[in-house]
A and B are shown apart, each in its own frame.
Chain A
Amino acid sequence: MPYDKRPDFLGRFLADQLAPGRPKVWRNAFLALLALIAILGLVIPNRHPHFGVDAYPFFWPIFGLVMGLILIFAVKKIIQPLIKRPEDHYGDL
């Protein structure tokens, strides 16, 4: 039998997570965790803000989300179309 066709307990567990419905469970768990983190961010104060604006609640969640969205959009929709070439552009392959 090929090497990886006898999965151990971890391999079986991970394979099971692709069963119908399971990805949604993981997605919901992730969103619930985010909500919990945001609430904790309200409860636990930033006693030592460095930039002024980081004293406001939800600064870091908004920074992470907005910067992440801008980064992905800018990289894939603006920058890459300008600098993308075929893989063997330099004839190295």
Chain B
Amino acid sequence: MATSDFYHPSLAFLMMAVALPFLPGNRRWKWLLLLPPLAAIYAAFGNLDGDHFTLTWLGLTLKLGHVDPLSRVFSQVFAIMSLAGIVFSLHVNDKAQHVSALLYVTGGFGCLLAGDYLTLFVFWELMSLGSTFLVMLNRTRESVLAAFRYFLYHVAGGLLLLAGLLLRYRLTGSFDFGPIAESSATYADWLILCGFCVNAAVVPLHAWLPDAYPRGTVTGSVFMCAYTTKTAVYVLARAFPGWEILAVAGTVMAVYGVVYASMENNARRILSYHIVSQVGYMVAGIGVGTAITLNGASAHAYAHILYKGLLFMSAGAVLYSAGTQKLDELGGLASRLPWVMVCYMVAALSISGMPLFNGFVSKTMTIAGAAEAHRTFVALGLELAAVGTFISVGLKLPYFAFWGGKKPDRTRELKPIPINMYVGMAFLALLCLAQGLYPHMLYKYLPYQEAVHEFVPWTPWNVIQALMLLGFSGLAFFVMRKVIEPHKALNLDFDWFYRLIGRGVLFLISRPLAAVDNVWTVVWDKVGLRVLKGLGALTSWFDRNAIDGIVDGSAVGVKGLGTLTAFLQNGRLQHYLGLMVVLGLLIFAFFWYGF
């Protein structure tokens, strides 16, 4: 998996995950965790295009190292994010959490470099497994329950993908993973699309995300917010560019996410709904399918991983320090956690598309591309989502957690935040700013270089348009700040239907199917077993008297010997002693009379 012009980024993550449980427990092993991300960064920027690592297995050719401009740009941001995530989690002593994260990232890189559906499926499932443990290892009842739901849901999504790729193989005779034309798509392609859409959190298949991510470990959710949905965006961009249904679905996602985020009280659930919304921009860009919107989707995925990682880091830091992530319990933390607030605001302004920050150079590219393609409702829907994003993440969350939304909470004890968490946050904050100020450092890696010059973010009109849109959205928040105040509540989402289906299946098994099973058991006991016993007796008789007779009665002899030894080995000490005496006398007689 490593040659002079290729190194697979998953390799070191996998090796570290396998070795970590056996490393001595003096905590120096934590520094070794930095090696896989550094190697991945080296690989992501250095690997050359081509199919580098192929395996032949059962007559199939598996491509594990497919590198092209699309996989490269995603690999780069995955590698950078893995370094930030590992640094942010260096204080964690629980090896199980690190192993889960390492396996999860292994799966992520494996998917990016998969050149065929079978390889993709294997790494896809590895991601599901690793991320399930990142939720479960939070070790609360609600986390464990959420992890089981998450796993069940992703198994179902994985099965859709598996069914699709096997049926596709039957139809085409190939597992090749490349673009599929919407006009010639088969039912197998639609199954694959559904499997991808589960992981992309496309509405209404999205509810696993706001269910699980707020319940993950502080550090685990930082990894999860970056990899699962963006891997799905990557595979959609590779296989389904220009599919009309994705343009519609992406726009719905963008608006749906901000609607739910605007009413939520839980900080990490607000951010989770904003993953749905922001991934909506990417899915819409893929659906529109022009070079500029595909570039926009890739650029936005890159920027999104950085600022969303930073948002989950800073919200996680608040949870780590204050012990809660509910806005109605927080307030006025700006002066008590000032640098967390600064990092949070860098990420919040980035996601809002504010000039100077990286969301401004990525989000606007997708919207402009949709408008250029005369997709008015897509473009306006994404602009509406931008308004909602700034109101809920840029203003509501910090207003009620950090600023003057409520009186400062001076009594709550705050736990010190480890320095490595600050380092991880500062690293991503600097990147968000650098990309915003110098977009070329992002644009030069975009997959469709011929279209990069079609969009220039830093024009006077683009800047003033963004300031007008966001500034007056801010005015709407200022006017309605009492209305939008969050309160404790659970807002029903599509997981209500998932749970209904789950309860329906449970009912089906525990009532009608169980009743049928009970009747069958009685029938079997009365009729089936008797017939079976009769047949057994007949074949046993035949075996003893016919077959055994042919092989010279050996079976009867062995059986008799076995019965005798079983009789002798009855566990009674006095019998053993008696046997010893008899055996001793026999041996004595043999030698005495024999010689």
Contacts and interface: CB of A to CB of B under 8 A. Distances in A.
B514 to A, nearest CB: 23
Nearest to A40: B464
Contacts of A86: 489-490
A37 B468 contact: yes
Given A11-B336, A90-B499, A72 B490 contact: no
A72 to B, nearest CB: 4
B334 A14 contact: yes
Interface string B443-454: 000000000000
Interface string A58-92: 00111111111101111111011001111111101
Interface in B365-422: 368, 371-372, 376, 379-380, 383-384, 387-388, 391, 404, 408, 413-416
A45 to B, nearest CB: 7
A18 interface: yes
A29 interface: no
Contacts of B388: 68, 71
A14 B461 contact: no
B376 A83 contact: no
- Size category of the B interface is 35 or more
B275 to A, nearest CB: 18
A30 interface: yes
Contacts of A12: 335
Given A64-B469, A87-B489, A80 B478 contact: no
B490 A64 contact: no
Interface in B457-486: 460-461, 464-465, 467-480, 483-484
Given A80-B489, A85-B490, A92-B145, A51 B416 contact: no
B476 A64 contact: yes
Give the most central of B338, B468, B489: most A CB within 10 Å. B468
Interface of A (DSSP majority class): helix
A3 B479 contact: no
Given A7-B336, A37-B464, A68 B259 contact: no
Given A67-B384, A80-B263, A92-B145, A4 B473 contact: no
Contacts of B391: 68, 71-72
Interface in A1-46: 2-4, 7-8, 10-12, 14-15, 18, 23, 27, 30, 33-34, 37-38, 40-41, 44-46
Contacts of B110: none
Nearest to A35: B471
Contact of A2 (B341, B414, B470): B414
B332 interface: yes
A80 B269 CA distance: 15
B573 interface: no
A74 B259 CA distance: 9
A39 to B, nearest CB: 10
A88 B141 CA distance: 13
Nearest to B486: A76
Given A14-B334, A67-B384, A92-B146, A75 B379 contact: no
Contact of B461 (A8, A44, A76, A84): A44
A44 B468 CA distance: 12
Contacts of A27: 478
A75 B332 CA distance: 25
Give the most central of A8, A30, A34: most B CB within 10 Å. A34
19 contacts: A14-B338, A33-B471, A34-B471, A37-B464, A40-B464, A44-B461, A46-B465, A63-B469, A64-B471, A67-B387, A68-B387, A68-B473, A69-B476, A79-B263, A80-B491, A83-B493, A84-B490, A85-B492, A87-B490
Given A60-B468, A93-B142, 16 more contacts: A3-B416, A10-B339, A14-B334, A15-B335, A61-B471, A66-B476, A67-B476, A68-B473, A69-B476, A69-B480, A71-B476, A76-B483, A83-B493, A84-B491, A86-B490, A87-B489
